[in-house]
Amino acid sequence: MFNTRIKIKEVIQSDRVDYSATVMGWVRTFRNNQFIALNDGSTNQNIQVVVALGMLEETTLKRITTGACIKVVGEVIASLGKGQKVELKATSIEVLGDSDAEKFPLQPKKHSLEFLREIAHLRFRTNTFGAVFRIRHSLAFAIHSFFNQKGFVYVHTPIITASDAEGAGEMFRVTTLPLDGSAPKNDDGSINFKEDFFGKSTNLTVSGQLEGELAAMAFGDVYTFGPTFRAENSNTTRHLAEFWMIEPEMAFCDLEDNMNLAEAFIKYIIRYTMEHNQEDLAFLSQRLEEEEKQKPQSERSEMSLLEKLAFVVNNDFERITYTEAIDILRESNHNKKKKFQYLIDKWGIDLQSEHERYLVEKHFKKPVILTNYPKEIKAFYMRQNDDGKTVAAMDILAPGIGEIVGGSQREERLDKLTERMKEMHIPTEELDWYLDTRRFGACPHAGFGLGFERMVQFVTGMGNIRDVIPFPRYPKSASF
C-alpha cells in the first residue's frame, strides 16, 4: 500500500508523541540542512521535520528544495524548539517530485497578491491562499448543510439556456456555428440559429432562478448552487465574468420571510467557519492587520476581521426601504460636500457601490437590507407593490463589499407579470414555460441570490474578488 500517510493537521493538533508516522507534502523551507518546514494543505501550519546530520546522502539533501514533494517516515516527538509542540524526527526521506529551486516562482518570502494572481496555478501553495480556499470549501459545505437541515431540495438548473433570467442582456453566447462568415443565414441576413446545435440561440446562464421557481412550485423549498456567467465589462474588485451563486426559492413566502431566511442563512455560514476554520481566520485576520498598518489612521477599519465576523453574527441587520436610504444619503454631509462621485439628487436613481458602502460602513456600521426599490431599476419578475412605483425587492449590503445578496418576492399574478414583461420588452413567447407556473397553481413565493465569491471575500477579508476563486475570469483574462 502506497498511502499510509497521515495528514499533518492530525499530527500537529494531537498531543500524542512517541509514535512513528509517515507524512507527505511540499517543502516550504529547508534550514541548515537540518530543519524542513513541510506543508500538505491540511492545515496552514507546517510540520517541522528534523533531519539528523549525516543521515542523508549529499545528493538527496540537495534535492530537498522549496516546492519539492517529499515523503518522510519518522518518529513524532515532543519538540525541542520553540513554535511547535511536536516535530517529526526523520528516519527516512524520499523525494517524490523534484522542484528546481532556481525556477520555482514561489520563493520563501512575501509575494504580492498581484504577482500570485499571475501564477494562480501555484498560489494554492501559499499560506494566504491555503487559508482562503479552505474557508471557501467550508462555506460551500455549510451552505448545503443549512438548506439540508431546513428540508430544502438541491436542484441543478441548466448551465446552457435560451433565456435571459435577469433580462439585462449580459450573456455569453454558446454556439457551434462557424465564425468565419459561413454560418447559415436567414433571408434578412441574420444568423439562422435553427441550424445551430440546439436549434435556437443559446447562452450561458446568468441565474438559475427561473428554473428554481418551477421546482419551488412542486417541492416548496429549493435551492441551486452553481456557476453563473455575466458578460458585463466590469473591471472591479467585486465583479467576475464567471461566479458561483446560491439561489434559494421558497413557495408560500413573502418579502419578510425572505429577509429572515437570508439573514439567518448568512449568520449560519459565517458561524460555521468561525467554529471550523479558527486557525485560517486568525491567520487572515492577522494578515489584514499588517496590511492595515500601511494605511493612514483615518482609513483603517475599526474592527479586526474576527471582530467584524463576530459582530455580524451577533447583531440584527438594519432593514430600511430604498426611499429611506435615499433620504439618508441625500441629507448626508458626504452628499452635501459633494464627496460622492455620483451625487444623490432625486428618488429613482440606482445606487452606486459608493452609496451602498456609505450606508453600511459610515452610517449604520452593520449589514443593511434595503427593500422596495423603484421598479424601473429592478428585474421584470419582482412583485409590484400597490404604490405603482416600487417592487418587493431586497438587497443585502455588507461592510467592505456592498451588495452581497439580491432577491425579491416574485410577481405571481399572471396579468401583472405579462404586462410588466411587455413594458420591459421581455419576450413572453420564449418564457411561456415560466408563465405556466402562474397559470397552474400559482402561489406567493420569494427567493434570493447570494454571490458566493462576495461572501468568501467578506469572510476572508480579501480585497479583490479575483483572489477568492481559484482561476478568475474577467475581461481580457481566462488563464489556466
Binding site for ligand 4AD (CB under 6 A): 165-166, 207, 209, 230, 232, 239-240, 243, 245, 247, 403-407, 447-449, 451, 453-454
Rounded to a whole number of angstroms, the minimum distance from the CB of residue 188 to Mg ion is 35
- Nearest Cα neighbor of 44 from 23, 24, 28, 67 is 28
| Residue 449, contacted partner among ligand 4AD, Mg ion, none, CB below 5-8 A by kind | ligand 4AD
| Residue 405, contacted partner among ligand 4AD, Mg ion, none, CB below 5-8 A by kind | ligand 4AD
Three-class DSSP category at 280: helix
Among positions 368-407, residues that touch Mg ion (CB under 5 A) are 406
Q: 77 and 17 in contact (C-beta within 8 Å)? A: yes
Question: Smaller CB distance to ligand 4AD: residue 239 or 366?
Answer: 239
Rounded to a whole number of angstroms, the minimum distance from the CB of residue 456 to Mg ion is 18
CA separation for the pair 77, 273 (Å, rounded):
31
- Nearest Cα neighbor of 161 from 126, 208, 123, 222 is 208
Question: Smaller CB distance to ligand 4AD: residue 97 or 158?
Answer: 158
Per DSSP, 392 falls in state E
Rounded to a whole number of angstroms, the minimum distance from the CB of residue 465 to ligand 4AD is 6
CA separation for the pair 330, 338 (Å, rounded):
10
Other beta carbons within 10 Å of 272: 18
Each residue 406-425 as x (binds Mg ion by CB under 5 A) or -, in order, gives x-------------------
Q: 384 and 408 in contact (C-beta within 8 Å)? A: no
Q: 334 and 322 in contact (C-beta within 8 Å)? A: no
Question: Smaller CB distance to ligand 4AD: residue 89 or 230?
Answer: 230
What b/e string do you get for 410-422 counting C-beta neighbours within 10 Å, with b at 16 or more? bbbeeeebbebbe
Rounded to a whole number of angstroms, the minimum distance from the CB of residue 185 to ligand 4AD is 33
Question: Smaller CB distance to ligand 4AD: residue 186 or 233?
Answer: 233
Question: Smaller CB distance to ligand 4AD: residue 228 or 335?
Answer: 228
Question: Smaller CB distance to Mg ion: residue 26 or 243?
Answer: 243
Size of the residue set binding Mg ion (CB under 5 A): 1
Rounded to a whole number of angstroms, the minimum distance from the CB of residue 228 to Mg ion is 12
Rounded to a whole number of angstroms, the minimum distance from the CB of residue 38 to ligand 4AD is 36
Q: Which three cell numbers stand for residue 389?
A: 412605483
The answer to whether the Cα torsion of 349, 350, 352, 357 is positive or negative is positive
Footprint on this chain of Mg ion (rule: CB under 5 A): 406
